[in-house]
Structure 1
């Protein structure tokens, strides 16, 4: 890009946005790879844990399947198959959505919640080492605010 093009405020903004995105994306990939590699159990997969985590944060520990799809980084068919595996293991249950017969509600069972809590304790140690150990408390707060701002822009 020419020097004149980078001096234009619009172009500088675009270049900065792309550079920030690339940095955020690469950091996210690096952190996720570490967290997956150091995941503390073989009892559940990293993606299964993600489903249990998302359900644990909801009122009554339940979500409509279509809403769960918005929270995880899997395609809808993959989430459906993963939920079916969790149902078979007694970690979640599926129920018809009371307000929409076409929908399904996924609820975390007591067994699933116990599994989540057991794994979460060790998983939080890895998160703290990988993220908390590298940023100051102020940086962590700023990072959370910036990520929330980007996520809320949907």
Structure 2
């Protein structure tokens, strides 16, 4: 089984998971979210992340999306995954946004890790752009 794990500061990952549920339906059961709450130390977050990992199948492949590469939540999660011996079965990406998470959730069971990484990163960067109205858009409803 492949799991998507969303890791963030605050409740960002939990909110993102909630939004994903509107798009992926039953597949949401393979998406997990954990955030380091305001005022929480890394030891407490570590306990909660270990508990999350213990709920997963031992031979699971993991796709971990973090809000910030180098941030405490993602580095703590990576350390725990490494200690559990699952790092070789884990793809880790940072800079999490909704298009990235949606593509990871949809494609995680159909692409190998390298192709999944490429697809998810391409979508994540393609989706970030400035929204502009053209003169032709004036007559259209927004």
The question of a shared fold, defined as TM-score above 0.5 by the shorter chain, is answered with no
TM-score w.r.t. structure 2 length?
0.26
- The answer to which structure, 1 or 2, has the higher relative contact order (CA under 8 A, 6+ apart) is 2
Q: Which of structures 1 and 2 has the bigger CA Rg?
A: 1
Q: Which structure has greater strand proportion?
A: 2
